[in-house]
């Protein structure tokens, strides 16, 4: 397996534009997570899915953020409209259930810059 | 919110020395994990220790867990320049189905 694949690796966009980040989890993993990493706030969990169903989106900062998982092999995180304070590195990760003592596998991240 | 807090926030040592990082967490857990992040990359899992374990080894890594103090430590022995990275502890929360990360320790190993 190629691991968790994210695209694009880098995204520069103007304030107000829509941004879509993409993630392909590891086949067979039933959990998918979106994290955001900034210097100020560290690594924050935005939302996670179990078997394609959103379970906890309490970390999503605002209604401008939305995430979908239409099937087991694909998820998107959308920001509309984007703002400069959304600039961060966004990571997707997949796993089996952590409570069973399994690890998370992270993608390489998407570095988003909103100007 | 952050479940774990690592200290120190930054650590600079010479190659060959040992590096120790500490993690404190808030709620009861059934396992604790350590991850490494190289600059500009995603996080990579290093080691997992279960709540009924007190110590675990993996190569040059040694992890301890004290559930009574809600703390863990990661020791890297005989450090190398390639160990330069940020290290995070992580604990399951939300019923064990999500992983919450600490604030991280930035380790720099100098030649």
With H, G, I as helix, E, B as strand and everything else as coil, classify residue A61.
coil
The pair of structure tokens assigned to A46 is 């935005």
> Looking at beta carbons, which residues of chain A come within 8 Å of B98?
31, 33, 45, 48, 55-56, 98
Q: Give the pLDDT of residue B6.
A: 84
The pair of structure tokens assigned to A35 is 């994290």
B5 Cβ under 8 Å from any chain A Cβ: no
The pair of structure tokens assigned to A28 is 């067979």
pLDDT digits (tens, 9 = 90+) for A43-98: 999 999 999 999 999 999 889 999 999 999 999 999 999 999 999 999 999 998 76
Q: Is residue A9's pLDDT more than 50? A: yes
Stronger pLDDT, A37 or B92, i.e. the higher one? A37
Stronger pLDDT, B108 or A62, i.e. the higher one? B108
Q: Give the pLDDT of residue A99.
A: 59
Q: Give the pLDDT of residue B1.
A: 41
Stronger pLDDT, A54 or B28, i.e. the higher one? A54
Is A5 in contact with A107 (CB distance < 8 Å)? yes
Whether cis (ω within 30° of 0) applies to the bond prior to B8 is: yes
Compare CB distances from B48 to A4, A31, A103 and report the shortest one's residue. A103
Which residue, chain included where needed, has tokens 């059934």? B30
Mutate to test the interface with A, among B37, B42, B93 (most CBs of A within 10 A): B42
* % of chain A with per-residue pLDDT over 70: 97
Q: Is residue B80's pLDDT more than 90? A: yes
Arithmetic mean of pLDDT over chain A:
94
Q: Is residue B83's pLDDT more than 50? A: yes
> Looking at beta carbons, which residues of chain B come within 8 Å of A54?
none
B94 Cβ under 8 Å from any chain A Cβ: yes
B47 Cβ under 8 Å from any chain A Cβ: no
> Looking at beta carbons, which residues of chain A come within 8 Å of B31?
98, 101
Question: Residues with Cβ < 8 Å from A58, sequence gap 6 or more?
Answer: none
Minimal CA separation from B94 to chain A, in Å:
9
Report d(CA A53, CA B45) in Å as an integer.
Answer: 25
A96 Cβ under 8 Å from any chain B Cβ: no
Arithmetic mean of pLDDT over chain B:
92
B3 Cβ under 8 Å from any chain A Cβ: no
Q: Is residue A100's pLDDT more than 90? A: no
Give the long-range contacts of residues A29-32, CB within 8 A, separation 24 or more.
A29/A94, A29/A95, A29/A96, A29/A105, A30/A72, A30/A96, A30/A97, A31/A94, A31/A95, A31/A96, A31/A97, A31/A98, A31/B97, A31/B98, A32/A69, A32/A75, A32/A92, A32/A93, A32/A94
β-sheet bridge partners, residue B50: B31
Compare CB distances from A99 to B30, B44, B104 and report the shortest one's residue. B30
Q: Is residue A41's pLDDT more than 60? A: yes
Report d(CA B33, CA B92) in Å as an integer.
Answer: 9
CB-count burial class (<10 Å; 0-12, 13-18, 19+) for A66 = middle
Q: Give the pLDDT of residue A72.
A: 95
Minimal CA separation from B28 to chain A, in Å:
12
Which pLDDT band holds residue B2 (cuts at 50, 70, 90)? Answer: very low
């Amino acid at each position: 397996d190629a691991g968790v694949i994210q695209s694009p690796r880098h995204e520069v966009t103007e304030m107000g534009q829509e941004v879509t980040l993409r993630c392909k989890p590891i086949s067979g993993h039933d959990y998918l997570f979106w994290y955001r990493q900034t210097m100020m706030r560290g690594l924050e969990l935005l939302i996670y899915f179990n078997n394609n169903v959103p379970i906890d989106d309490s970390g999503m900062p605002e209604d401008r953020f939305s995430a979908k998982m239409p099937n087991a092999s694909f998820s998107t995180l959308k920001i509309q409209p984007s703002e400069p304070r959304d600039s961060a590195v966004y990571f997707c990760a997949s796993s089996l259930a952590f409570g069973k003592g399994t690890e998370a596998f992270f993608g390489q991240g998407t570095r988003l810059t909103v100007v | 919110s952050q479940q774990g807090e690592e200290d120190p926030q930054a650590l600079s040592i010479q190659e060959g020395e040992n590096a120790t990082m500490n993690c404190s967490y808030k709620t009861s857990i059934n396992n604790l994990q350590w991850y490494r992040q190289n600059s500009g990359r995603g996080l990579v899992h290093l080691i997992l220790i279960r709540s009924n374990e007190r110590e675990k080894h993996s190569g040059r890594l040694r992890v301890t867990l004290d559930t009574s103090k809600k703390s863990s430590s990661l020791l890297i022995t005989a450090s190398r320049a390639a160990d330069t990275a940020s290290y995070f502890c992580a604990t399951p929360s939300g019923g064990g189905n999500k992983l919450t990360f600490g604030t991280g320790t930035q380790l720099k190993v100098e030649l």
